Structure 1
Amino acid sequence: MSRVSAWFGARAEHTHLAFLPGPGSRPLLPREGYLRVWLAEGFLAQRRTWGNEHFPALHGGVTLSFLGTEPVTFSTVTAPSWSTPGVHLDQHISPLVPYLGGIVGVEAGLYQVSRTGPLGGAVRVLGTLAGLVGPPLAGAAAIAGKISDGLEAVLAETGNQPILGVHWSMVAPGGIGRPVQPGHLVVIDAPEPPGPLEIVEGRLRAGGEPVELDHLVLRVECREERDDPITPVLADLIRRASEAALWGNLDTLEALRKEAIIRAWNSTDLVPRDGKRVAKMIADEIDLARPMGIVPERELRDRLPSRDDPELKTLSLDALLG
């Protein structure tokens, strides 16, 4: 994503950038929740040449501390159905990632791509990998890195530059800089907006009117809890443990139960306090499955302990493993 940073730095005086915090929102504390970035809105003016020969492609994502290592970038390449100019909404450009602290970088670059050129071929191929950038995040980080490196290599060969881009950094509350917070990041291809900017029913407005200059709106989503705490790996372990219970294979049941609990407790897809909650839920549900059989995933989610459950304060991994 260095190409986008360089473009944005060179065009800073000619590009308007604004962050509009969500109404009533508050900063996200490290280890207390998750964030995800969306392309909420994009507008391409009629003056550009689109249609059958060219299409726009977006390369964007989020960079943050992950797995206790150097910052990791979760990015994707998407080719929205922008064969004609206009507004297109709500495509996620990063998975839901736990925020563990440090600096969060948000970047996105919009490129004009020839359908018959090498960049067009790369976007189509790399775009098919975008669906793999999700839980488990440890593997997704490697895939996202390959997507980004592959696109950068093609861009270096073709010399394509963004027609619009944005680079934005956020930090934990209490430091110098914009805190990690839900809201909309707006970049307009003009030194100044045509009027005061606001988000009305999810759409960008300037002085109450739609913005008809080239622009991107990225939505930074922050949430305290995942909407999918049971990852595919954990769901598979629960099903296999329940099946072992039905067959009466107690040794297999205990081995799968232990693996599921440990994986949840140490999951890199969850903030630490949620790893403990999910591990407890899994232990309880597998124990219930011994005489009853498989427990539906929806019921699993409904049984997730509250973050305020006093039992969690003293819960240990040894106690769960029993």
Structure 2
Amino acid sequence: MPAVTADTLTLDRLPKLPDAGTVWRPVARVVTAQHFLEGEGFAVRRPFPGVDLSLADPFLLLDHMGAVEYAPGEAKGTPWHPHRGFETVTYILDGAFQHRDTHGGGGLISDGDTQWMTAGSGLQHIEQPPPELVARGGLFHGVQLWVNLPRAQKWSPPRYQDIRGRDVKLLTSDDGSSLVRVIAGSLAGHEGPGVTYTPITYLHATVAPGARLTLPWPAEFNAMVYVLSGDGHVGPDNRPLHEGQLGVFGGHKETAGALTMRAADNQPLASRQGWEVLVLGGLPIREPVARYGPFVMNTREEIVQAFEDFQAGRMGVIPADHVPHRTAADETL
């Protein structure tokens, strides 16, 4: 897993949180991701939606792509498709993905890079493995997160952020045993490079076998841990959490608390460097959610308008060197 690595002895350390006097957030539930086919037929594991939406708010969807070893000709992506009303955040751990949209954003991301697309008022985009990966095959592993936008920002102009792996803020645990990559938001006063409309924190941590990672966490944020690979435990009661599982913490707002997690002493061969987890949380928006396919708004009327705007060509024009594909948004309600 070549996502950004570093010598933890050279990094800023997170504060030590003592057991005595620290309130640890409990784990409210553990969710096992379901399997789906997306785009042109690539497999994803999806832990939410599926949990109560209020527990995930402001997040809408998490798709775990891979890890998969593609044979030549097997790698797939998505056709051109529209979005409105939220943001897509694609983080690549292994392999590469290329993006292009009708607002002029795009580029190639690979090992440890992130592409952050704010759909806002609406655009179309396409996500594909590069031709070299399709031709040769190879390892591919990534995650796409959908972040909701509050009503006041749903009509923001589209924007694109190209976040290189070298730009993420790297931290280590208080004992130097774990590597924490801050992609967006703030952790113990350290800021990640992702610029967000909705206040969130988005981390990727590698927790050394047998090591414990403790994190201060904003009282007003919810909190979740998703396992990319390996085995570990979360919360003060050491709930087991394995690859493809999501641990949802309780206690936000009512109890400030902090997060605690520990990697199992023995890890699978594929996770010999440690337990790989995403840690994410945000300020709940607490607004009505109307969602249908590629659009997420506040009312059904706004969803109907989104389809009408897309069909009328008001979400950008696909470049002439790309052949349009039929998508779910071509269907009427």
Asked if these proteins are the same fold (TM beyond 0.5), I'd say no
Q: Which protein has the larger Cα radius of gyration, Structure 1 or Structure 2?
A: 1
The TM-score normalised by the length of structure 1 is 0.25
The TM-score normalised by the length of structure 2 is 0.25
Structure with the higher fraction of residues in helix conformation:
1
